[in-house]
Structures are given as structure tokens and as C-alpha cells.
Amino acid sequence: MKPGTALITGSSSGIGLHLAHEFARNGHDLVLVAPVAQELNDLAQEIISQTSVHIHVIAKDLENPDSAREIFDEVQALGLTIEILVNNAGHGMRGQTWEIALETDLSMIRLNIEAPLRLTKLFLPPMIARGHGTILNTASVAGFEPGPMLNVYHSTKAFLLSWSEALSVELEKTGVQVTALCPGPTDTDFFAKANMQGVRGFQQAQVMSPQSVAKIAYEGLIEGDMLVVPGGVNKALVVARRVLTEEAQARLNRKFYEEVPIEKQTRQRGDIEREAAAQDRVPA
């Protein structure tokens, strides 16, 4: 039987882009969602050139509260059944709370919390009615602890993590599965867009490639895992921070988000992603 269609938000870059490739490699037709139509079309053409899947693109800004309903209605009009909903779109911003514009914080809440909630409210009832379906929510290891200098982002990911775990239990007898993906530092546009490319967490921490995160996420989803934490270091952090006090966690994260001296900033966005791509192209 052909794998079900997956709708992936935030699919034009980062983890979402590589989730699109991963689902396509495994035979899933796709609905790709992101704000810029040209970026989606370029990605669709790239995937189509490598696989035999069918792809629809829907250019929508999920910060607009009407976008979720518009996406759902368009999917219905196309006659598509969404078997897998991937709530991946999100963003963050580093800085002192009093220095970050309120609109920036609200933007994070709209995209990281409100958009997944709206989409799930629309696509979940048909899944329950069919007796099967899957929801993958991209949370973060940030959801396990407070994050000074990135506190609203951490809070949004804490919501996604708690909501996903609770929803998973609520849905136990419905045939619908919920998986929370909790990556650690990953080589995506997140760091540059969040004013974080020079921080210790990007420059000196163990940073994963988005390809690896996407592959582990897909495998966990297929296995039916409620929680997927890619990478041994990230798993250890989650375990360790569950036994630390909240104050100790917050102080550790403040160091994680400190800028390192410019002369020690040797890592550039894309280094790890390109290395992973090059290794993938090398014949086994």
C-alpha cells in the first residue's frame, strides 16, 4: 500500500526541507507549506526529479490566523487525504526580554504555538473519523528547561512538548499517533535569523545536520514513538536537566547563549549541512 500523504509546514528550509526529502524518499506524496511560493516550487521540482511522488505546494504565512483554514480548505478542494500532519514551522529570537519588540515575541507565539494548534484542530478530526493518522510536532530540547536570552522561544517549545505528550495519551484508542520531535542545536537558518550565529551553542556545541535530524524523526514516527530526541548528547542533556533545579538549568542555558569572541567564531551556517550532503553523495 502506498504511504499516506504528508503535509509539512516550514518546508522550504532547515529541518522542514529535509523532512520533505525524507518523506519523499520513503514514497509519501507531499503538501509543502511555507510563505514563499518560488522556494516551494524549487523544492518541489528538486524532489520530483529524484522521486516519483506527487507534490502540491501551498504558499501561506502561518502567522496569519486565516491561513490554517485556507490550507485545510485547499487540501479538501484538491481531494487529498492528509495522513501525516507535520507542524514544523517556527522561529526564535535571542536577546534581553526588555530589548525585544513585543511584536517579535507575539510572532513566535503565533507561529510556534497558534499555527500548530489551528492546523491540528482542522486535520485531527478527519484522522479520528478514519481511525488512523499521525501528527509530528517539531518541539525542541529547549522545551525541557528555561532559557534566559531566548525565554519566549523556550516557552513556546515547552508548550509544544507538553501539548504533544498529553494529546498522544488522549488519542491512545483512536488510531491516531502524536510524535514530538525535540532536536538540539541543528545547522539551519534558525541561528542566523535568531541573532545566534556567534553564540556558544552554535560555535562550540555539538551541532547536528538537518539531514540527520530529519532521518531520525522519520524513523521515530514510523516506530510510533511519542518522543524523539535526536543525538546521544541531546538525550543526555534531557536526562541530566530533569534532575537539575530550574535555576541551575536556566544558568546553564544563559552560558549556552553567550557570544564567544569573534576570533573563536569559526563555524558558519551550512558547514555541517553541506558536509552531510557531501557524505551522502559519496558511494558506499
Q: Residue 235: enclosing H or E segment and its boundaries?
A: helix 232-243
Percent over 70 (pLDDT), the chain: 98
End-to-end CA distance of the chain, in Å?
A: 29
What is the domain range of residue 113? 5-281
Nearest in space to 137 (alpha carbons), one of 122, 154, 115: 115
Long-range (24+ apart) CB contacts under 8 A made by 45-49 are 47/20, 47/21
Instruction: Give the tens place of pLDDT for each residue, 80-116.
Output: 999 999 999 999 999 999 999 999 999 999 999 999 9
What is the 8-class DSSP label of residue 139? -
Q: For residue 182, what is its C-alpha cell?
A: 525535540
pLDDT at 243: 85
Selected catalytic residue, list 23, 144, 153, 256: 153
Instruction: Give the tens place of pLDDT for each residue, 19-65.
Output: 999 999 999 999 999 999 999 999 999 999 999 999 999 999 999 99
CB 92 within 8 A of CB 20: no
A 10 A CB-CB count for 283 gives 3
Q: Is the pLDDT of residue 5 over 90?
A: yes
CB 91 within 8 A of CB 104: no
pLDDT at 241: 76
Place of cell 551556517: 269
Residues sharing a CB contact under 8 Å with residue 51, sequence separation 6 or more, in sequence order: 24, 25, 27
Q: How many domains, in total, are found in the chain?
A: 1
Starting at the edge strand found earlier in the chain, the sheet holding 227-228 runs: 55-59, 30-34, 5-9, 82-87, 133-138, 176-181, 227-228
- Can you say whether residue 61 is alpha, beta or left, with left for phi > 0 and alpha for psi between -120 and 50 degrees? beta
Annotated active-site residue 257? The verdict is no
The CATH number given to whatever domain includes residue 85 is: 3.40.50.720
Q: How far apart are CA 213 and CA 184, in angstroms?
A: 9
pLDDT at 1: 53
